[in-house]
Structure 1
Amino acid sequence: MGQTSSQSAPRSAANATPGCPIDHKLPPAASACPVPHDPAPKLAQCPIDHESINSLNQMPNMSQEATSSQSVALPTSRTESSIPRDPASKWEYPSPQQFYNALARKGRETPEELEHVETMVEIHNFLNEQAWQEVVKWEKRAYPDDDIQLARFKGRPGEMSPKARFWLFAGWLMPSRFNTEPPFDRHDWVVRRPKTGEEVRYVIDYYSAPPEPDGSPVFSLDVRPALDSFGSIKERIAAATEDVWAGLQESSKTVDSTRPQGS
């Protein structure tokens, strides 16, 4: 199963900021996930999983007020996602103003960030929509009739998953074959299966990929169930087996097509 998915950013986002939204020319402290993260004592927490949670929508009460040095007004409207929170509502994304306020808390309140913040929000929303589609693909394998919901989530940019560490090590050993860049972000999503009440954790690693020839940014998402339950382990093994079998079948077709007729 395609647990790693490459996605091009929306055309409007690509036109506004060609290439990866992460500025790799900035110092290490500033070159990071386009989604700002607020520091905690030991772990940077995603601002959309902040300690100030609205009990009605389980989202942080991020300020909609403009900063004192802000020279341009930003939209305060929030976009509803396609991701169900419960049977009656869906999750909402932060507004550009809330997003910029989170940047300001990180000390990234600059004219350049202000100019591109709406594009950054668009890319953030796009990536999370694509991640949800990958989660749905996994869930439909074993639970095709259950309308799953995203119960809660957490940004973990300061922690690399074991799989990300493995591929980074592989890139160090064989840089010509494997990616040498770590993921720029990680999220853990807890999905609820309403029919059984079961909750399952998914790990999402976000990677930057080489841009399209026209400069459009491309991202690679590695979405998979966390290996913390027997059911998730079984699904991961089944998906890996299917991928290997599909690869063998494709190789067999290639050999057959190159074999001389009558042999």
Structure 2
Amino acid sequence: MEASEACSSHSSSLDAHNECPYREKKSNINPCTLMPHPEILNATSIDGISSPLSKGLSTERESSTIPKVTAPGHVDETWKYPSPRMFYHALLRKGYATDPQDIDSMLFIHNQLNEGVWKHILEWENFMQPNATGRCQPLLKSFQGRPQKLSPKAWFAHKFLGADKPFDRHDWVIERCGKKVRYVIDYYENGVDQSGSPTMNVCVRPALDSIESIFYRFRRFLDS
């Protein structure tokens, strides 16, 4: 575990609410997530291909604890996790053949990982805003899966230290006091625990997009 990079182990990608403030009405793709809109993923077919196995999957969605940037008139909203049917269709779109009976457990792990990621982001935000009186509440604006693009840290560790590549990468953009801040999340497989459940390492840190982020990453490295 690297405290400086907020890497932690979790035992075994949020989907946008229907009211994404940046929704393009003429597009099937949600600009907040770069994924199809929820009503498309909740249908009984995807991309014109019928998926009868998904008909028994629930379309109910669970609310996360992650606050979101909302459209005018919407307050105190949080992101919603995909329904089991949406999650199944998202996996089909990515080319993963998945048994529908496994979806509930997979979705539970997915949701818990996202909650853990947000907890790490809040730790970074508290570290960068130590004054609680003037601290702004961070809101998640958007996110994107980038599994084919290695982060600089992951590339260096793989190229020069022989470390395994992460199996997935996400970029989350938060809004803090009206300012956009990008976070990079690398996901690593970490074997199984004593009960046989898969475990994963999640490394969360602000992207090196600004002098501020570089300063605080270096400072946290020194503090670790």
Q: Tell me the TM-score normalised to structure 2 length.
A: 0.77
Q: Please state whether the residue corresponding to 1:75 is helix, strand or coil.
A: coil
Which SS does the other structure have where 2:88 is aligned?
helix
Say which of 27, 40, 43 aligns to 1:65: 43
Conserved? CA contact 2:170–2:184, under 8 Å = yes
Q: Which residue of 1 aligns with 2:155?
A: 165
* C-alpha deviation, 1:222, in angstroms: 0.8
Over alpha carbons, which structure has the higher Rg?
1
CA distance in 1, matches of 2:64, 2:83: 12
Report the CA distance shift for 1:51/1:230 in structure 2 as closer, same or farther (over 3 A).
Answer: farther
What is the RMSD computed on CA atoms of the aligned residues? Answer: 2.4
Q: Measure how far apart 1:119 and its partner are.
A: 1.4
How do 1:168-187 residues align onto structure 2 when only pairs under 5 Å count? 168-172=158-162, 179=163, 181-187=164-170
Q: Deviations over 1:178-231 (max 9, x none)?
A: x3x21011111111113xx21111111011112112212211111011111011
Residue 2 of structure 1 deviates from its aligned partner by: 4.3
Q: Is the 8 A contact 1:205 1:222 kept in 2?
A: yes
Deviations 1:89-113 (A, max 9, x none): 1111111101111222234345xx3
Classify the secondary structure of the residue corresponding to 1:204. Answer: strand
What displacement does 1:123 show?
Answer: 1.1
Kept in 2: contact 1:82–1:91 (CA 8 A):
yes
CA contact (8 A) 1:131 1:221 kept: yes
Does residue 1:153 correspond to 2:143, yes or no?
A: yes
Return 5+ residue gaps in structure 2 as ranges: 14-26, 70-74
Instruction: Give the CA deviation at 1:53.
Output: 2.2
CA distance in 2, matches of 1:127, 1:120: 11
- CA separation of 1:148/1:219 partners in 2, compared to 1, >3 Å: closer, same or farther? same
1:203 equivalenced with 2:184 (yes/no) = yes
Give the structure with the larger strand fraction.
2
Q: Cα distance 1:100–1:201, how it changes in 2: closer, same or farther (>3 A)? A: same
Q: Residue 18 of structure 1 aligns with which residue? A: none
Q: Tell me what 2:214 maps to.
A: 233
Q: Report sequence identity in percent.
A: 38
The reply to whether residue 141 of structure 1 matches residue 124 of structure 2 is no
**Structure 1 Cα separation of the partners of residues 36 and 119 of structure 2:** 21
The one-character-per-residue Cα deviations of 1:56-111 (angstroms, maximum 9, x if unpaired) are: xx98333212343434600111111111003521111111101111222234345x
Q: Which residue of 1 aligns with 2:59?
A: 76
> 1:237-248 counterparts in 2 under 5 A?
237-243=218-224
> 3-state DSSP class of the match of 2:110?
helix
**Which runs of 5 or more residues in structure 1 are unaligned?**
15-34, 36-49, 173-178, 244-263
Query: Which segments of structure 1 move beyond 6 Å, counting only runs of 4 or more?
Result: none
Instruction: Work out whether 1:188 is the aligned partner of 2:202.
Output: no
Change in Cα spacing, 1:116 to 1:237, as seen in structure 2 (3 Å) is same
Query: How far apart in 2 are the matches of 1:207 and 1:54?
Result: 27
Letter in 2 for 1:190: V
Change in 2 beyond 3 A, CA 1:109/1:211: closer
CA contact (8 A) 1:6 1:218 kept: no
